[in-house]
Amino acid sequence: MESSYIYGFILSLVVALIATPLVKKLAIAVGAVDKPNHRKVHQRLMPRLGGLAIYLGFLAAYLLVFPPFLEKIGPFLEQMGISSEAMVETYSRATLGIFIGGTIIVLVGALDDRFELSPKLKLLGQIVAAAVVVYYGLRIEFVNLPFQGMLSFEWDWIAIGITIFWIVGITNAVNLIDGLDGLAAGVSGIATAAMMIMAVFVMPNPVVALYCAILLGGILGFLRYNFHPAKIFMGDTGALFLGFNLATLSIMGFKNTTLFAFIIPILILGVPLSDTIFAMVRRFLNKQPISVADKEHLHHCLLAMGLSHRGAVLAIYGISFVFATAAIVFSQSTLWGALIIVCALLFILQLVAELIGWVGQKKKPLLETARRIKQMTTGKQ
C-alpha cells in the first residue's frame, strides 16, 4: 500500500506542476484576474483560477491510483478484524461523495473567479456539495455521547446538520486566510500532512492517508508558482476546494469518535478556525455585520507589525505547524495531558491575539490583567 501513497503523491505533484502555467494562461484569456483594492496586498492584476491546477493533479491521481488501491486494502482490513467487503464499499461511497462534492466546489469557485458570484449563490453551492457528501454516507457520528440515547428526536438529523455546518464552515475558513502569496496553500498543506501522518501511524486509515497524499501532491505542485512572489493565485477555486477537502477528510478520518477526541481535527485546522472565530468576535465587539470585510485578519496584523510578506507567511506556517504537532501529541496523550495541551494552546492563542491586535486594540484582558498585577506588586499607578 505504501507504493500507492508514493505514486499518488508524485502523479498529483507532477500534473499540478505542468498544469499551473497552462491554467495561468487560461485565467488571463478568460479574464479570471484579481484586481488590487484597499484590502488586498498585491498591487497589480494577478491571474487567479490556480486552484484548477490543484484539482487537475488531484483528479489524475484519484482516477488512476484509487480504484486499484481499494482492491488491495482488503487484507489490511482483515488483519484489523474488519469486514473488508463492507468497509471497502463504505470507503468507495465516501470517497466518491467527496470527489463529486469537491468537483461541485471547483465549479462554483471557478465561476466566482471569473464572474464574482453573490455570497448567497456561493453559499448555496457549498451547501449542495456538503449535502452530496452526506448523501454518500459521510457524516459526523459521536459515539459514547452521554445524552444521545435520552433525546426524543432523531440524532441522525442533528448529525446531518452538524456535518453540513462543519463542511461549509471549514470551507469558508480556509477561503478567509487566502490573503498572501502561498498562505492558504501552505497552511492547507501542513494540515493535510498532519492528517496523513495520523492516518498512517495513529488511526490507522489507509484511504484517508492516500487521499491526503494525493491532495498534498497537488498543493505542493501549485505552491511552486504560488509562493511569494506569486505568479498566480489559487482564487476561490483553490481555497474552497482545499477547505472542502480538509473538512470532509477530517470527518472521514475521525468519523466514529468521542466528542472529546473530535478536538483533534479542530487543532489540525487551528489557523483558519481561529482566524475565523477572532474575525467574528472582532466584528461583534465593533458592532459590525459578521460578513463585513476588514484588514485585521492574522496576516494583516503580522504585516502591520512590520513583518515582510514572506516573513508573515512563514510565521503563519510556524503557527500551523505548532497546531498540527499539538494535534498529533494530543491524540497520544492521557486525559489530563490532553486538557493541559488544549488549555495551553488557548492561553497562548489569546495572548498572541492581544499582542498583535487580532481582536482589536482595545480588547486585551490578559495584558490588562498582567498590567494591574504589575501595578499591585510594584505599587506604581
Q: Which residues are annotated as a binding site?
A: 175, 236
Q: Of how many residues is the chain composed?
A: 381
The whole-angstrom separation of Cα 108 and Cα 100 is 13
Contacts of 122 (CB under 8 A, 6+ apart): 108, 112, 236, 240
With CA atoms as reference, report the closest residue to 250 among 269, 231, 235, 222: 269
Distances in Å between the alpha carbon of 115 and those of 27, 48, 107, 322? Answer: 12, 12, 12, 37
> DSSP for 222-286?
HHHHHSSSPSS--HHHHHHHHHHHHHHHHHHHTSEE-TTTTHHHHHHTHHHHHHHHHHHHHHHHT
Which residue positions form the known binding site for Mg(2+)? 175, 236
Cα angle 127, 133, 136; round to 5: 140
The three-point CA angle 130-193-269 to 5° equals: 50
* C-alpha span between 12 and 9 (Å, rounded): 5
**Distance between CA atoms of residues 72 and 61, nearest Å:** 16
Task: Name the DSSP class of 202.
Answer: T
What nine digits make up the cell of 189? Answer: 498543506
